Structures are given as structure tokens and as C-alpha cells.
Amino acid sequence: MIVKSGFPAIADQQTRLFILGSLPGERSLQELRYYAHPSNQFWKLVGAVVGEDLQSLDYAARLSALRRHKIGLWDVVSAARREGSGDQAIRYARHNDIGGLKLAYPKLRAIAFNGGLAAREGARLLSGIEGVTLHPLPSSSAAHARVPLADKARAWAVLRDYLQPKEL
């Protein structure tokens, strides 16, 4: 099995919300962009959260929209051995320093996990973190079609709460 490595974080000092996946799939790795597979529902789901049609934008404009809405993007796994794109095939994972996100991004209020593996590993790595709310979310992958898009969108809608400045 080949070792596959993820991408750097997409974020800036204004980031209030991070969405963490597991490890980019084959199509994303080939195209060097997050959530590149056309059947992945990530851009539709985040678009519903921010009230913009991100699906119709080019990749640079999508990333610009994330920054404008103070959303960061990264993965829990930095590198792993994996055949194909499925999380269940991830072996010998090395993790990104997600425990350092709050220090690196002081305005961070929440971390959302896109899918089960990201949520399990992320919760383990962030056990005891203070001042940041953790949200496990249904996977945006079309491989998880047993959860309809409308149900996923309702679950992801909780992220809207973190896009506005914190009220005092």
C-alpha cells in the first residue's frame, strides 16, 4: 500500500470554525484540492450553511468563500496507508496537530468532523480541550447515501451558529 498524505490547512487568523475530514480521497489527491469528487456533497452542504451556491464556483472561489465566512478546512489524518478512498481502508495513520488549532487560531469556537472516522479520531485527539465545541457530522461522501442529503443538511445547519461573532 502507498502512503497518502493530505493537504495543509486552509485557514487564517479570523477562522471561527474548522471542518475536519479524515484524509482526502483519490480524486482529491489527484486534483490537489479538498472534496474534488463530483459526487461528494461537501460543497452543497457548506453552501447551505453559508447561504451561497459553492458547488457552482471554481475551487479558488470556494476557498475564498470559506475564508470570507471564517471557516477553516483540514483533516484529522496527515498521512496513512490506504487502498482507494474509503476511510475503512486507512492503516498506520499519522495525525495532524489538531490539538494546536485553538492556540494557532485564537478566534476558533468550534470544530466539526465530517464523518465517523474524523469524529472518532478527532474526539480522541481533542479530549479535554476547552473553549471549543466539537460537532460530529454525517459524512458528505456520497458513499454514505443511506443518510439523505436533506437530513445531512439539517445536521450541518448547526454550524451557522459559529459564523457570527460571539455575543457577550
The grid coordinates of residue 139 equal: 459524512
Q: Residue 125's CB: how many other CB atoms inside 10 A? A: 15
Beta strands in the chain, from DSSP E residues, in sequence order: 3-5, 17-21, 71-75, 77-81, 91-95, 110-114, 133-137
Nearest one of 68, 72, 94 to 16, comparing CA atoms: 72
Task: Give the residue carrying C-alpha cell 474524523.
Answer: 118
The reply to whether 114 belongs to the active site is no
Among 40, 41, 96, 141, the active-site one is: 40
Residues with a known catalytic role: 40
